[in-house]
Amino acid sequence: MIELLEKTFQHNGLVLAFTLVGLVMWVAMQLSQRLTMGRVHGSAIAILIGLGLAYWGGLETGGTKGLADVKLFAGVGLMGGAMLRDFAIVATAFEVQVVEARKAGMVGVVALLLGTFLPFIVGACVAYAFGYRDAVSITTIGAGAVTYIVGPVTGAAIGASSDVMALSIAAGLIKAIVVMVGTPAAAGFLRLRTPRSAMVFGGLAGTVSGVSAGLAATDRKLVPYGALVATFHTGLGCLLGPSLLYFATRALVE
Amino acid sequence: MVIYGTALLALCHLLGIFLGDLLGTLLGARTNVGGVGIAMLLLIAARLWLHKRGWMPQPTEMGVAFWGAMYIPVVVAMAAQQNVVTALRGGPIALLAAVGSVFVCGCCIALINRGEKPATVPHHAATAV
């Protein structure tokens, strides 16, 4: 009986994922209304539950893909994977007001550049403060503070050691999680309420996953504006990391 | 038909990712440069163009709108497959680098957004929220 049920679940992974996420959303909405009187957005709680499940999955399996590594919940990997995530993000562009987006074009570019340089400088300084003195390690850790994809791409390009790579991925992951969880709470301080402000946020906060989840938990209407800019963030970082940023770091420390 | 909308979305998605890869290769970035962003711009352009000609009936729009509405659940599924264990094991360097850069960027965002002309805020808010 149990075996049969397990077989049903494993053969219908994506459908099981829809059920599971639906359940998580429902629980999160109830918690949001009952415990916080709607002050903490249901989406934010759902994302937190998701991260908690990912932690549990990681501990349980020792894998790198959180809950998706648990055999029964492999469908979560498909549902939350890059393909469907990007598909859904593109779909949100349907709600973009062209006039608003165009108005913020220039400030979006400035935010993108700042969003690459500032985290890199902070990450590189932290690496230096903890005793790293070679340009390769400093650049890789700095790039990890940009996003968790820019870190390993840069590290691989300039030949960083695997523990430095792991560190840079960790920095990027923590950044994404902090942005996901912290954005709704900091939305007032960040003045996050107009399409333009969302585009500034998307450029500076970086990481598509962090920005898209953070905005989703703050105000669903702002998602496409932030995502539109943030999707260029990783590409720009991968472009500048192994080139300009590496050369600049090498010139400074060696 | 609903599938027309989903097919349009899929076409924009594929074309955008392809152009992003092409741009990345041309620039030597070894990765996709703004593929999703390009796809979004394509979809916006396609919507405007089709609307003008009246080729965008309600069911077609629903084929896109459904996926836009599925966005938050997909993000929850995405959160559930992050490598949280590794992130937490990264220790103080990773934590400091991450929190430090988020803090610096947050202050920068707050600064830039406070520079937005206050007169336009109520108008924006009215149309956006």
Q: Is residue A181 part of a domain?
A: yes
Q: Nearest Cβ partner of A17 from B20, B24, B77?
A: B77
Q: Is residue A57 part of a domain?
A: yes
Distance (Å, rounded) from C-alpha A192 to C-alpha A55? 29
CB contact under 8 A, B13 and A24: no
A103 and A62: one domain? no
* DSSP H or E segment with residue A60: helix A42-61
A101 and A191: one domain? yes
Distance (Å, rounded) from C-alpha A1 to C-alpha A82? 35
Q: Are B45 and B29 in contact, with CB atoms under 8 Å apart?
A: no
B16: its two tokens: 């955008």
Q: What is the pLDDT of residue B29?
A: 63
A74 and A100: one domain? no
A122 and A187: one domain? yes
A66 and A122: one domain? no
Q: Which of A82, A117, A133 is the last residue of a domain?
A: A82
- What own/partner pairs with CB < 8 Å and gap ≥ 24 does A3-11 have? A6/A72, A9/A72, A10/A71, A10/A72, A10/A74
Q: Is residue A89 part of a domain?
A: no
Q: Which of A37, A60, A82 is the last residue of a domain?
A: A82
Q: What is the pLDDT of residue B121?
A: 47
Q: Nearest Cβ partner of A171 from B84, B94, B120?
A: B94
Q: How far is CA A124 from the centre of its chain?
A: 20
A100 and A61: one domain? no
A66: its two tokens: 């959180």
A227 and A179: one domain? yes
Q: Is residue A190 part of a domain?
A: yes
Q: Are A14 and A72 in contact, with CB atoms under 8 Å apart?
A: no
Q: What is the pLDDT of residue B119?
A: 46
CB contact under 8 A, B113 and A192: yes
Q: CB neighbours (10 Å) of residue B129? A: 10
Chain B residues within an 8 Å CB radius of A49 = 76
How big is the A-B interface in CB pairs under 8 Å?
346
CB contact under 8 A, A17 and B61: no
Q: What is the pLDDT of residue A189?
A: 86
DSSP A50: H
Kindly report the nearest CA distance between residue A135 and chain B, in angstroms.
16
Q: Are A122 and B97 in contact, with CB atoms under 8 Å apart?
A: yes
A197 and A72: one domain? no
Which pLDDT tens digit goes with each residue over A61-82?
A: 988 888 999 989 999 999 988 8
Complex ipTM, two decimals? 0.82
Q: Is residue A87 part of a domain?
A: no
Q: What is the pLDDT of residue A159?
A: 79
Those residues whose C-beta lies under 8 Å from the C-beta of residue A36, and which sit 6 or more positions away, are none
DSSP A41: -
Distance (Å, rounded) from C-alpha A164 to C-alpha A147? 15
Residue to test with chain B: of A29, A94, A169, A244, most B Cβ within 10 A: A94
Mean pLDDT by runs of 10 across the 129 residues of chain B is 94 93 79 78 91 90 91 84 76 87 89 72 43
A203 and A241: one domain? yes
Q: What is the pLDDT of residue A193?
A: 85
Q: Is residue A133 part of a domain?
A: yes
CB contact under 8 A, B86 and A119: no
Q: How far is CA A28 from the centre of its chain?
A: 20
- Phi, psi dihedrals of residue B118, rounded to the nearest 5°: -60, -30
Average pLDDT over residues A191-197: 86
Average pLDDT over residues A157-165: 78
Q: What is the CA radius of gyration of chain B?
A: 20
Q: How far is CA B15 from the centre of its chain?
A: 16
In the structure, what pLDDT confidence band is assigned to residue A190 with cuts at 50, 70 and 90? confident
Q: Is residue A88 part of a domain?
A: no
Q: What are the angstrom distances between the C-alpha of A80 and each of A26, A53, A170? A: 18, 13, 20
Closest alpha carbon within chain A to B74: A80
Q: Which of A34, A58, A82 is the last residue of a domain?
A: A82
A217 and A178: one domain? yes
Q: What is the pLDDT of residue A233?
A: 79
* Most confident of the following: A121-130, A169-178, A227-236, B115-124: A121-130
- What own/partner pairs with CB < 8 Å and gap ≥ 24 does A247-252 have? A249/A124, A249/A135, A249/A138, A249/A139, A249/A142, A250/A135, A250/A139
Among candidate residues A32, A34, A5, A30, the one with its CA nearest the CA of residue A184? A32
Chain B residues within an 8 Å CB radius of A186 = 106
- Phi, psi dihedrals of residue A187, rounded to the nearest 5°: -55, -35
A101 and A190: one domain? yes
A11 and A100: one domain? no
Q: Is residue A90 part of a domain?
A: no
Domains of chain A: total: 2
Closest alpha carbon within chain A to B22: A235
The 3-class SS string of chain B reads CHHHHHHHHHHHHHHHHHHHHHHHHHHCCCCCCCHHHHHHHHHHHHHHHHHHCCCCCHHHHHHHHHHHHCHHHHHHHHHCCCCHHHHHHCHHHHHHHHHHHHHHHHHHHHHHHHCCCCCHHHHHHHHHC
Say which residue the tokens 């400088």 belong to: A121
Q: Nearest Cβ partner of A91 from B71, B76, B77?
A: B71
Least confident of A231-235, A248-252, B38-42, B74-78: A231-235
Q: Nearest Cβ partner of B71 from A142, A175, A223?
A: A223
Distance (Å, rounded) from C-alpha A155 to C-alpha A150? 8
CB contact under 8 A, A177 and B78: no
CB contact under 8 A, B81 and A189: no
Kindly report the nearest CA distance between residue A178 and chain B, in angstroms.
7
Range of the domain at A135: 95-253
In the structure, what pLDDT confidence band is assigned to residue A211 with cuts at 50, 70 and 90? confident
Least confident of A16-20, A240-244, B54-58: A240-244
| pLDDT over threshold 60, residue A178 | yes
